């Protein structure tokens, strides 16, 4: 029996865990028909020579701007706490605002969330 040969090292790019993966948030002016296709499919093809305005350049992994971390290693695998607002055990809890002294809480009406009544009343579809 022949054993399968391992793929060449040249075919698979080396994974550098501390390397940034740069992406660009872009703005492209398109016609209405292309916008309709892009909205439906989630992608579209541009013409050759289309100029693309870069709104922001940042790392996909650590979500930091290019100019801030271009010379540094990517810290997404090392410490990703900046994406969730810091250490969760040390963050202060959200404060619930107190109502003014003269305020009263009034019970609201019953909202029909299931069945034909909810559809007719507009709960499951936006009002026009």
Q: Does residue 5 lie in a domain region?
A: no
pLDDT tens digits for 71-118?
888 877 766 565 666 666 776 777 888 888 998 888 888 777 777 777
Q: Is residue 76 within 8 Å of residue 62, measured between CB atoms?
A: yes
Q: Does residue 109 lie in a domain region?
A: no
Show the tokens assigned to 52.
């693309």
pLDDT confidence bin for 9, thresholds 50/70/90: very low
Q: Does residue 102 lie in a domain region?
A: no
Q: Does residue 115 lie in a domain region?
A: no
Which carries the bigger pLDDT value, residue 75 or residue 26? 26
Domain that holds residue 53: 17-88
Q: Does residue 4 lie in a domain region?
A: no
* Average pLDDT score over residue span 46-63: 86
CA distance 65 to 82: 13
CA distance 44 to 42: 7
CA distance 62 to 75: 6
Q: Does residue 12 lie in a domain region?
A: no
pLDDT confidence bin for 7, thresholds 50/70/90: low
CA distance 86 to 95: 18
Looking at residue 76, what is its pLDDT? 75
Q: What is the pTM of this model?
A: 0.44
Cα radius of gyration (the chain): 26
Mean pLDDT, rounded, of the chain: 77
Q: Does residue 29 lie in a domain region?
A: yes
Q: Does residue 32 lie in a domain region?
A: yes
* Average pLDDT score over residue span 54-64: 88
Looking at residue 15, what is its pLDDT? 55
How many structural domains comprise the chain? 1
């Amino acid at each position: 029996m022949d054993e399968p040969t391992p793929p060449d090292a040249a075919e698979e790019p080396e994974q550098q865990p501390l390397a940034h993966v740069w992406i660009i948030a872009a703005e492209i002016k398109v016609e209405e028909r292309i916008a309709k296709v892009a909205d439906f499919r989630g992608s579209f093809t541009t013409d050759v020579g289309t100029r693309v305005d870069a709104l922001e350049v940042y790392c996909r992994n650590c979500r930091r701007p290019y100019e801030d971390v271009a010379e540094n290693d990517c810290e997404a695998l090392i410490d990703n706490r900046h994406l969730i607002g810091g250490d969760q055990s040390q963050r202060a809890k959200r404060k619930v605002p107190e109502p003014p002294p003269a305020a009263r809480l009034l019970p609201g009406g019953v909202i029909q969330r299931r069945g034909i009544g909810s559809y007719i009343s507009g709960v499951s579809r936006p009002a026009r």
